[in-house]
Every structure is written in C-alpha cells, then in structure tokens.
Amino acid sequence: MRTCEERTRDVLERRDAYREKQQRQQSVLAFGTLCGALILSICVGMLPRFRSTPTVMDPASYAEVYEALDKERVYYLYADDEGIIQEDAAVDVNAGNATRPTGSTAQSSKEHSETNLQVVGVDEADIIKTDGRYLYVLSGGRVVVVDPNDGYPQVLAEFTLSHGEASGYGTSGMYLVGDRLVVMQYRYVQLRAVTAALVYDIADPAKPSFVTCFEQDGRELSSRVIGDVLYTVSQYSLVTEPIETEPATFVPRTGCDGEEAVLSAQDIHICGKSSQYIVVTAVRVSGEGEQLSQKAVLTSGNTVYANTENFYIAGYGYGTRKTPLVRFALNGGKLEKQAETTIDGVLLNQFSLDEYDGHLRVVITEYGENGTTNALLVLDKDLNTVGSLKELAQDERVYSVRFDGEAGYFVTFRQVDPLFTVDLSDPTKPTIQSELKIPGFSQYLHPYGDGKLLGIGMDADENGRTTFMKLSMFDVSDPTAVTESNVTVLDQRDSEVLSNHKAVLIDMGKNLIGFATGDNTYHLYGYDAENGFVLKARLAALDGYGTRGIYIGEYLYVTSANGVLSYRLSDFSSVGVLSIVKAKQSTAGTVSTSVAGF
C-alpha cells in the first residue's frame, strides 16, 4: 500500500500533466479555429466582417461564487488504485444452475417484497430490485436479469454497463421505474469524479436497451426516486486551481448523453465559504428522459433526507462539528432552495432527520469541552429552531433514531442503552416520556405494528463491551413506561443490517424478519407476543454483505452479486441455485437450511 506522501505526489504529478494537456489542447483548438475562420471568411469574401464569437459564460456573473470559494483548501480528487471497483470478469452464468422443465417465463407480477425504505413513496437505490416478475441484480460491471421461475431461477438477460472514457468506475444501486431500469454509477474521468444515471428500457426484460445517460460532476452522495423523477445528489470538489476568468475551472457541470454545461450562476447558492459543492439534479426517467432542473450549493454534505415534498441535505463542517443544513422544495422536479441554517453538533445518518406536519425533527450529538451530550431539535419551514431538548446522555453518542408520527425514539450508548421516547405532539415543547436503560444498544429501529418497536443491534456486558448481535422488541404502547418485552441474542457479531437499513427484510404480514450475517448465513425470524422472537430458519447465502432476501410468490430468493439461492416460504426447504459469477470460498454449503439442523 502506498504511503500518503506517495499518493499525494502522484496526484500532483497527474494534476500538472492534466493542466499541460489542457493547455496544449486549448492552444491547438484556438489555432485551428482561427485558421478555419480565416479560410472560410476568405472563401466567401467576408474577411473584413470577421469577429470572434463571444463566450457563452460571463465570468462576471460568477464573481460572487469565485469570491466565496475557499481557495486555500482545494480538494483534488483522484482515483485510488485500491479504491476503484473494476468490472468483474464474466463467467458462464448458467454454471451450476438448477434445471427443471420450463415453459414460458413469468409474465404477471406476483406478491413480492420491496426495498426497506425510510419514507413511504420515496424509493432508494439498492443493489438488487424486483418488480414481482424478475430480479435485477448488480454484479460487478453488469446487470443480470433473473427469471425467478417458481423457485428455479434462470438468467433471462445480462448486459455490461457502459462507462465512457472513465479510468475507474463502479455502481451504487438501481431503481425500477415502470418500464425503465436506472443504474447509479460513479466514474473517474481523468481527475474528475462524475455521477451518472444510466437509463435502460426494460419493457421487454429479455432485451434491455439503452435509452439515455444523465451526468453531473461530483461523487454520488445519495439519490431518491419519487414517481418517475430521479433526484441525485453529488459532492463536487475542485480538481484544478480556480481561474476567475474561466468559470469551467470552478463551477460544476451537468449534462445528458455527453453534452454538458456548467451550471448557470442563478442556479448556484452560497452557504458560507467552502471549496466543495453539493450538486442536486432532477430528471424525468420515463419516456426518452428529460432534465428538469439542477442546483448547486457551495457547502459540504454527507446526509440526505427526503419526503415527497422536500429534500434536506446536511453536511459536516470539517473541524467545527457543526452541521450545515439546506432545504429544497421538490415541486415535482422543479428544485427550489428555500431555507438554510447551521446546527451545533453532528448527525448519525438519514434517520436523524424527519419531517412531520411542516416541522423538521433533528437528533444530534454535540461535542463540548466537557465531552459529548445529545439533543433533539424541532425546526420550522425556515429552519428556525422552535423547540428543543438538550444536554441528554452526558458522554454518550447517538446510535440509532426513528420517528413515527408524533413520537420520536433514539438510542445513546456508553455502558447501557438508554432508549429515549419523546412526545412531539407539540413541536414547541418536545417532552421526554421515558428513558429505558438496558445492556447493549440498537443500531436500527423499525416500527413494528401498534405499540411495538423493533431494535436490531449489539448486546454488551456490564462494562459496555459489545458481545453479540441481538434483536429487541420494545413495548411502546405506554410511552411513559417503555419496556423491552422480548430479546434474542444471536451467535453472530457482524451484519450489514447494522449499518444499512436496506439489507433487512421486514414484513409484518408474513411475520418475517430477515438479514444476512458475516458467516454467509441468512437468518429468518418471526415474532409474536406469546413466544417472542422465533428462529424460523438459517439459510445458506453466497455472501454475507451485499445479500438481500426477497420473496416473490411462494418463494424466498437469497440474492447477491454472486448468485441466487431459492427456498420455499412454507418450510424453507432448498429449491434452486443460480450462479452468476464464481462464488468465493465460503462455508455456505455447510449451513443448515432449517431450524431442525441445530
């Protein structure tokens, strides 16, 4: 592994080479343009009328942006040799497939699970998606369309994702929007980080076809889909020294199908001195695709929360432990910046934010001279604080947050797990109703029907040392006396669900709680008040991380970039297996497929 000094030297060398190349290209282009214009003018006898074409961009209109740039802290981006996800080599996608006599593939959508979301109606990208007819799987630099085939999965189609002239690239997730598949991709083009949304027509899933590509400067921070509109947020850092007379050196670009342009000065908002932008775009992905609006904010950002009306982007002030916060109104894709503020303290993740009845509720950890404390703030539409609870849980930090209507729940931890329950019915007077202290902590909270709250996290001993994963069911029917009604401690220490809510399957109707653990095992639990948590099955999985449990009809498909394993929901017996790429050596084959094996 290269040292920091070696990597920095390499970046600067590539930067200088890139500048020299740009200067040569500009000189050649200018000379060629001049010669061409002169020849053309002579040929048509209009040499006296020759005039240079005025620049489209007026540098003066960007003067305020240029002055606001923190030019002392330019962050040059580069492709780390060890950080680029390269395209996987294709292998025989039918190797090891289970076979059965088949007729036509499934044509109608069946009852199926969906990506676990924070807000109903606001879709989030994930590595595996289903429409109830087919599974769409990101596998390296490819998308594989899988026909579930009633438990005997087969490859229906596959295609390699285009990446232009990128020197490095990878993917973060996908969306299904009607007959469109949208793949979120990041690229490094020379020193530029670019976020791309690749749109494919899947009206005939057996023959996917490329439709269009939307691009914007910066590394993807997050994205959402509401209806047929894709909202993409990227974080753009300058890659060359800003030149006042050349806006292209310090203003981010957006575009479609390779045609790009810098944002207009009217679309850039300044929220303090910074050398980073947050770029937000709205595009319609149905039909032929359409750019609706684009905005940029000169600020930092690392957290995104969205509902169907507003988009909130929160940042992290380097060295300040303050959180800049910006609100955009969505307006059906016509983005409009409406408010901004800065909050003392830092957020945990997107669940630290929630909007309800025109008020934004925020949970933060504050850092002071005497250690950490935690707070809950209630902000109005202009992001002014109208209510708060402060100085909670001295020397602890927030581990999980969930809001549910007029109730708020958050967990802090040092040696025990205080689960705070907050009454938010009066936004100006939030009130703590209970503070339950138990060993360990929950890292993900999920409302589980009337009066119940599911917690997934870690157990801990009396000294606060974490031991194994645990499931907790909290009885919140009486918010003034919350109890942990049931708890189950697993024999596992690691799972993607502890840091990614999209990795868990939760279906109260089917009484399923499912997630994979680091030992390539997929765990399925049920819950009822009489028996508590009941282990239904431990199933083989091809991977620990990047695995999703998806049910379609009467079958559960444990799916990852390496392949699909299918099981009957009735008894969790193994049915079929589909290999997409060669699976890594694992103990998956030794894992029992039912509780009876334990």
State the pLDDT confidence band at 94, using cuts at 50, 70 and 90: very low
Task: Report, in angstroms and rounded to the nearest whole number, the Rg of the chain calculated over CA atoms.
Answer: 26
Q: Mean pLDDT across the stretch 308-326? A: 89
**Cα separation of 92 and 103, whole Å?**
22
Nearby residues of 556 by Cβ (< 8 Å), 6 or more positions away: 514, 524, 539, 549, 550, 566, 567, 568, 569, 572
The pLDDT of residue 261 is: 94
Structural domain includes residue 85: no
Residue 309 has pLDDT above 60, yes or no: yes
Question: Three-state secondary structure along 386-417?
Answer: EEEEEEECCCCEEEEEEEECCEEEEEEECCEE
State the pLDDT confidence band at 274, using cuts at 50, 70 and 90: confident
State the pLDDT confidence band at 239, using cuts at 50, 70 and 90: confident
CB 396 within 8 A of CB 428: no
Alpha-helical runs (H) found in 44-90:
63-68
**Cα separation of 467 and 46, whole Å?**
84
Q: Mean pLDDT across the stretch 10-38? A: 49
Residue 582 has pLDDT above 80, yes or no: no
Q: Where are the beta strands (DSSP E) in 307-415?
A: 310-314, 322-329, 336-344, 353-356, 359-368, 371-379, 385-392, 397-404, 407-413
Mapping DSSP to helix (H, G, I), strand (E, B) and coil, where does residue 251 land? coil
Structural domain includes residue 44: yes
Nearest to 192 by CA among 13, 25, 15: 15
**Cα separation of 362 and 377, whole Å?**
5
State the pLDDT confidence band at 27, using cuts at 50, 70 and 90: low
Q: Mean pLDDT across the stretch 361-382? A: 95
Strands laid side by side in the 512-517 sheet = 505-507, 512-517, 521-528, 532-540
**Cα separation of 355 and 403, whole Å?**
9
**Cα separation of 351 and 409, whole Å?**
10
The most confident of the ranges 57-71, 277-291, 314-328 is 277-291
Q: What is the pLDDT of residues 529-576, one digit of tens each?
A: 999 999 999 999 999 999 999 999 999 999 999 999 999 999 999 999
Whole-number average pLDDT of the chain: 85
196 versus 582: which is more confidently predicted?
A: 196
Structural domain includes residue 28: yes
Q: What is the pLDDT of residues 162-183, one digit of tens each?
A: 887 788 889 999 999 999 999 9
**Cα separation of 173 and 181, whole Å?**
11
461 versus 146: which is more confidently predicted?
A: 146
Q: Mean pLDDT across the stretch 123-149? A: 96
Residue 18 has pLDDT above 80, yes or no: no
Structural domain includes residue 35: yes
Structural domain includes residue 407: no
Q: What is the pLDDT of residues 405-440, one digit of tens each?
A: 999 999 998 866 789 999 999 999 999 999 999 889
The most confident of the ranges 43-47, 274-278, 478-482 is 478-482
Mapping DSSP to helix (H, G, I), strand (E, B) and coil, where does residue 151 land? helix
Nearest to 195 by CA among 230, 165, 234, 160: 234
Structural domain includes residue 36: yes
The pLDDT of residue 37 is: 44
The pLDDT of residue 319 is: 72
Structural domain includes residue 41: yes
Structural domain includes residue 446: no
CB 310 within 8 A of CB 330: yes
CB 260 within 8 A of CB 253: yes
Q: Mean pLDDT across the stretch 371-385? A: 97
CB 166 within 8 A of CB 188: yes
Q: What is the pLDDT of residues 328-337, one digit of tens each?
A: 999 999 999 9
**Cα separation of 501 and 495, whole Å?**
11
Residue 597 has pLDDT above 50, yes or no: no
State the pLDDT confidence band at 59, using cuts at 50, 70 and 90: confident
Q: Mean pLDDT across the stretch 504-511? A: 97
Domain enclosing residue 35, as ranges: 4-54
Quick one: CA dihedral 498, 501, 502, 504, positive or negative? positive
Number of domains, the chain: 1
pTM: 0.84
Q: Mean pLDDT across the stretch 495-506? A: 98
State the pLDDT confidence band at 49, using cuts at 50, 70 and 90: very low
Residue 74 has pLDDT above 90, yes or no: no
Q: Mean pLDDT across the stretch 253-261? A: 93
